[in-house]
Amino acid sequence: MLDTKGFRKFAYQVVDWMADYYENIEKYPVKSGVKPGEILSCLPDTPPEQEEPMEVILKDFEEKIIPGITHWQSPDFFAYFPANSSYPSVLAEMLTATLGAQCMVWETSPAAAELEEKMMQWIMYLTGIPSSFDGVIQDTASTATLTSLLTAREQYTHFAINEKGFSGTEKFRVYASEETHSSIEKAVKIAGFGKENLVKCAVKKDFSMDTDSLREAIQNDLRRGFNPLAVVATLGTTGTTAIDPLKEITNVAKEYGLWVHVDAALAGSALILPEYRFMIEGIEDVDTFVFNAHKWLFTNFDCSLYFVKDKAALIRTFEILPEYLKTKTHGRVNDYRDWGIQLGRRFRALKLWFVLRNFGLRKMQETLREHIRLAHMIRQNVEEAPDFELLAPAPLNTVCFRYHPSGMDEETLNRINQQLMDTLNRSGKVYFTHTRLHGKFTIRFVIGQTYTREEHVRKAWSEIIRTAMEIS
Ligand SMILES: *Cc1c(COP(=O)(O)O)cnc(C)c1O
């Protein structure tokens, strides 16, 4: 097993590998082409009895693991939403792993707790989230949304369900739009509300929530004896980055006493741009807000930033105090184990600190504005190309389109666009994923990887045109 001397040697070697990887990342096929079971079958069935040298392990990493990796940090990655990273973030992760601190309470590493507190204040300053809110880092937006809905449930029932469980008479309803993320449904299921009590409101032509539909749904539910509990607004839906009208939603919520959670997983990062602050008009009436620094803010997965208006309600929902976790400082400091679901916590604030300082606001703004400019360039290309069709407005960094040569019925169009995307992805040069809008197979062109430049985007667009010509 490695000793300190060996660690030093291989650490240098690994860092060289990391730098080479980033330098040559465009040479890898963006999407891994391995077949199901391929990696599994090249791994031994049992772990080794005797120690194995690091050289062999690292060689296997390169030969057996890397072929099965999809390269999310490639500047030619345009799929899903980004999970972008950056050099300062990676450096911090190395240090985090080195410290190996378990940051469940203040005393288990005061610097982790206090840096987290300060970073959340920095993020509020950067995004315009009111400084009266409190923030905590969660692993994912899914967890934050579940945390929010559980807090809503407990506040509504005066913490009775935590105490006694469901009585069987509650008929909670949670509202979101048809374009809401699947994590909302998952949270509704886990929180015990039942999937059928997630009410999906209609969307307008731009795929943002139609608040008339929200109001009607609430009134309808009240007439039928349901308990409207919460509404989840999405800023930047996963399908098309539609922006729900927050101010209108909070107005309806106020009228009916609903809890408001905002899922801004991707788009929250854009709040560092003053021109996108309009998205949070109404924020003072929001209860909880989440966005992922691990999507579009250069901080590698995982790092979800969760903000709450009422810290006491959050803590009262999750607090536990067994004897073995009692500390003398409890109540005077932030013990983040009480701010969410998990007890054990990684030191995530460190990478955010490195990123925010090493980029600085200017550089972050420049990078996001460039991503958005490039997306709007692609939008224009799509609009001007004779055989392509724009399928949704592109208010942020995502363009939804399809290939649409004349004289094809919908079924053929769906098939040919699936084929276009699969062919592009198999080439290894780019990676796109899709959604369906009004039944139409839609290719999403998402620009958000840290090191994506105009040349990558132009090259991808040429590939799309060339491949479309080839298959038709
Ligand atoms: C990505 C995404 C999520 C889920 O994020 P996780 O951090 O992976 O849980 C939730 N909502 C929206 C709108 C997203 O785009």
Round to whole Å and give the CA distance between 55 and 305.
Answer: 38
Do 316 and 461 fall within a single domain? no
Atom of ligand 1 nearest to the CA of 140: 7
For residue 270 the two structure tokens come to: 């854009």
Residues 265 and 372 in one domain: no
Are 231 and 300 in the same domain? Answer: yes
Tell me which of 292, 294, 295, 301 to substitute to probe ligand 1's pocket, judged by most ligand atoms within 8 Å of the beta carbon: 292
**Are 342 and 436 members of one domain?**
no
Q: How far is the CA of 175 from the centre of ligand 1 (A)?
A: 17
* Residue 187, in any domain of the structure: yes
**What CATH number does the domain containing 457 carry?**
3.90.1150.170
Domain boundary among 314, 346, 378: 346
Cβ-contact 461, 403 below 8 angstroms:
no
pLDDT of the residue at 439: 96
CATH of residue 269: 3.40.640.10
Q: What is the pLDDT of residue 388?
A: 97
41-85 residue pLDDT tens: 999 999 999 999 999 999 999 999 999 999 999 999 999 999 999
Compute the distance from residue 83 Cα to the ligand 1 centre, in Å: 11
Q: Is residue 469 part of a domain?
A: yes
Q: Which residues contact 375 (CB under 8 A, 6 or more apart)?
A: 394, 396, 397, 398, 399, 445, 447
Q: What does the pLDDT average to over 110-133?
A: 97
Query: What residue owns the CA closest to ligand 1's atom 2?
Result: 265
Residues 276-287: tens digit of each pLDDT:
999 999 999 999
Q: Considering only CA atoms, which of 184, 189, 174 is closest in space to residue 227?
A: 174
Say if residue 201 is in the same domain as residue 266: yes
Is residue 75 domain-resident?
yes
Domain final residue pick, 311, 346, 381: 346
pLDDT at 380: 98
The number of C-alpha atoms within 13 Å of 161 and in the hemisphere containing its C-beta is 21
Indicate if the alpha-carbon torsion angle 35, 37, 40, 42 is positive or negative: negative
Same domain as 364, residue 278:
no
pLDDT of residue 170: 86
The answer to whether residues 397 and 276 belong to one domain is no
74 shares its domain with 180: no
For residue 468, tell me if it sits in a domain.
Answer: yes
Does residue 160 sit in the same domain as residue 226? yes
Distance from the CA of 183 to the center of ligand 1, in angstroms? Answer: 7
Residue 269 in any domain: the answer is yes
Tell me the pLDDT tens digit for each residue of 375-397. Answer: 999 999 999 999 999 999 999 99
| pLDDT, mean of residues 142-165 | 97
Domain limits at 117? Answer: 101-346
Distance 325 CA to ligand 1 centre (A): 32
pLDDT above 90: residue 164: yes
- The reply to whether 333 and 220 lie within a common domain is yes
| Ligand 1 pocket mutation, candidates 238, 291, 398, criterion most atoms within 8 A of CB | 238
Q: In the chain, how long is the greatest CA-to-CA distance?
A: 75
Q: Does residue 372 sit in the same domain as residue 307?
A: no
Q: For 183-199, what is each residue's pLDDT tens digit?
A: 999 999 999 999 999 99
Strands 288-292 and 259-263: parallel
- Answer whether 0.95 is exceeded by the pTM: yes
Domain count, the chain: 2
Please check the confidence at residue 227 and state whether its pLDDT lies above 80.
yes
Same domain, 14 and 147: no
Is residue 459 left, alpha or beta, with left meaning phi > 0 and alpha meaning psi from -120 to 50? alpha
